[in-house]
Amino acid sequence: MFIKTKGFSATELDQFLTLQRTCFRIQTEMARELEVGVTEKSVARELFRRYRAAGAGNFFHLPVVLFGERTGLPGRWGIGNFFPRDTALKEGDAVILDGAPIFDGFMIDTSLSFSFGDTPAHDEMMASLLVQRHKIRDAVNSGASFLSIAEGVAADCAALGYEGVHEKHPGAVLGHRALRLRWPRGWRLRGADGVALSWFLMKIGLSRFFARQSPLWSRHATSDHAPTDGLWMVEPHFSNGEFGAKWEEILVIEGGEARWLDDTPPPAASHEGAKHPAHTMWVQRGAFAAPENRFQGKCPGSVAFYQCLAKY
Ligand SMILES: [Fe+2]
């Protein structure tokens, strides 16, 4: 078996937990160090460097960095729109950091959202998103289908006047599988791990005939089944038309029972009353100044930038 999706040992789950904490640490440190004027590209490049320094090989997806209105995925939003731009960070901007590195075959995918400065509307959105953290876990434990859980998130989101823009992500997913790849080193397809991506595409194809095969959790008919055991990256993403926010972390489902891999990762810790470090460390910010773009002149566009990063 080259790809494992469920039946993980305690040791393997420990490794997923350790690596998820590593990824949140990298994102939290990055959040604390941002300063006015850094660009999405410079932060994406720095995150890439830090994931690599922490031991990442390939990436399920390269670091996504969104500033300001782009956090809400406005308008027609395709995969190319996730690629970092020259957009510079401004005071009061919403920020999303989302990275999916693979460490020795363990695929991790975490997201951190925060406001660069005090924005009560952002705090409100995060609070409503974190309510979903409890509701999603409890709904799995009640035996609800993946489809009805995704419908519930969409209904709550609409009732709050938000748009559920996770449905603008590839596959319109509320979540997707996490994997352990037993493959020496995958090749890259536009920056993504070729083995993982091929596996997802094959399973998505099979899910047209066997719903439980789907590695995606969405409002599509392929999710009309009881929750599937294994590890799921859950990532509700709301927008109010001006900005968006999300969180992403691993939900463990074993024998139909769900629990979060980590009880209080950074996004949840902020909801439990302890202010998120990214909200409280502004007095210390400014440690990260964008280095010179080493690809300047060679990679003028965002797609080209990611292709350069993918070869790095
Ligand atoms: Fe992600």
Q: How many angstroms is it from 185 CA to the middle of ligand 1?
A: 20
The pLDDT of residue 291 is: 42
Q: For residue 309, name the pLDDT band (cuts at 50, 70, 90).
A: low
The pLDDT of residue 206 is: 81
Q: How many angstroms is it from 63 CA to the middle of ligand 1?
A: 8
Q: For residue 22, name the pLDDT band (cuts at 50, 70, 90).
A: very high
CA dist., res. 220 & res. 169, Å (int): 13
Q: Which residue has the higher pLDDT, 304 or 169?
A: 169
Q: For residue 129, name the pLDDT band (cuts at 50, 70, 90).
A: very high
pLDDT of 131 above 60 = yes
pLDDT of 136 above 80 = yes
The pLDDT of residue 284 is: 32
Q: How many angstroms is it from 225 CA to the middle of ligand 1?
A: 24
The pLDDT of residue 297 is: 38
pLDDT digits (tens, 9 = 90+) for 169-218: 988 999 999 999 886 666 666 667 777 887 878 888 887 777 677 899 99
Q: How many angstroms is it from 98 CA to the middle of ligand 1?
A: 5
pLDDT digits (tens, 9 = 90+) for 26-81: 999 999 999 999 999 999 999 999 999 999 988 999 899 999 999 999 999 998 89
pLDDT of 274 above 60 = no
Kindly state the DSSP code that residue 88 receives in the 8-state scheme.
B
pLDDT of 159 above 60 = yes
* Residue 214 CB partners (closer than 8 Å, separation 6+): 203, 204, 207, 222, 223
Q: How many angstroms is it from 110 CA to the middle of ligand 1?
A: 6
Q: How many angstroms is it from 188 CA to the middle of ligand 1?
A: 17
Domain that holds residue 141: 3-311
Q: How many angstroms is it from 111 CA to the middle of ligand 1?
A: 6
Q: How many angstroms is it from 101 CA to the middle of ligand 1?
A: 9
CA dist., res. 72 & res. 95, Å (int): 10
The pLDDT of residue 287 is: 40
The pLDDT of residue 273 is: 39
Tokens 């941002």: give the residue: 34
- Tell me, what CATH number does 200's domain have? 3.90.230.10
Q: What is the DSSP string of 50-63?
A: HHHHTT--SEEEEE
| Residue 232 near residue 249 (C-beta atoms within 8 A) | no
Q: How many domains does the chain have?
A: 1
Q: How many angstroms is it from 224 CA to the middle of ligand 1?
A: 23
The pLDDT of residue 196 is: 80
Q: Taking the complete model, does pTM exceed 0.85, yes or no?
A: yes
- Angle, helix 120-141 to helix 146-159, in steps of 10 degrees: 150
The pLDDT of residue 123 is: 93
Q: How many angstroms is it from 9 CA to the middle of ligand 1?
A: 24
- Angle, helix 40-53 to helix 302-311, in steps of 10 degrees: 10
Strand order in the sheet with 230-234: 216-218, 173-177, 230-234, 249-254, 257-260
Q: How many angstroms is it from 47 CA to the middle of ligand 1?
A: 13
Q: Which residue has the higher pLDDT, 133 or 299?
A: 133
Q: How many angstroms is it from 103 CA to the middle of ligand 1?
A: 15
